[in-house]
Amino acid sequence: QVQLVESGGGLVQAGGSLRLSCAASGGTFSSYNMGWFRQAPGKEREFVAAISWTGRSTLHADSVKGRFTISRDNAKNTVYLQMNSLKREDTAVYYCAADLVPFRLISGTPSTSDYASWGLGTQVTVYS
């Protein structure tokens, strides 16, 4: 099973940018779709973005479309989330996750149950 460690979170002013990274180890990273989810206090964990195992296909939640971009570097076993034009409502703990099944097509809106491995999360706080 893949082990995941997120980094890059922090405190940022509204309108600013952050780049999250998620380093994977212990598995065949390049075989799995990867996702980013977030959880704000008192709310359920929600889908943010996903990327296919090849990196050719991506999905983004409507709430972040046009502002966030998911990418991956299979040579570095790392997935990224570039976050621009941050808003206060983006404040949350951000988690990366590896798909339950290798080589799966991504479609629709991925749910937490589609993912088997999770990192511990990185806090993103946006202030205005």
Residue 26 has pLDDT above 90, yes or no: no
Which pLDDT belongs to residue 108?
A: 86
Q: E strands within the chain?
A: 3-7, 10-13, 18-25, 34-39, 46-51, 58-60, 68-73, 78-83, 92-99, 115-118, 122-127
Average pLDDT, integer, range 38-65: 97
> In this structure, are residues 4 and 119 in contact, taking their beta carbons and an 8 Å threshold?
yes
Average pLDDT, integer, range 58-62: 97
Which pLDDT belongs to residue 126?
A: 98
Residue 94 has pLDDT above 90, yes or no: yes
Residue 47 has pLDDT above 90, yes or no: yes
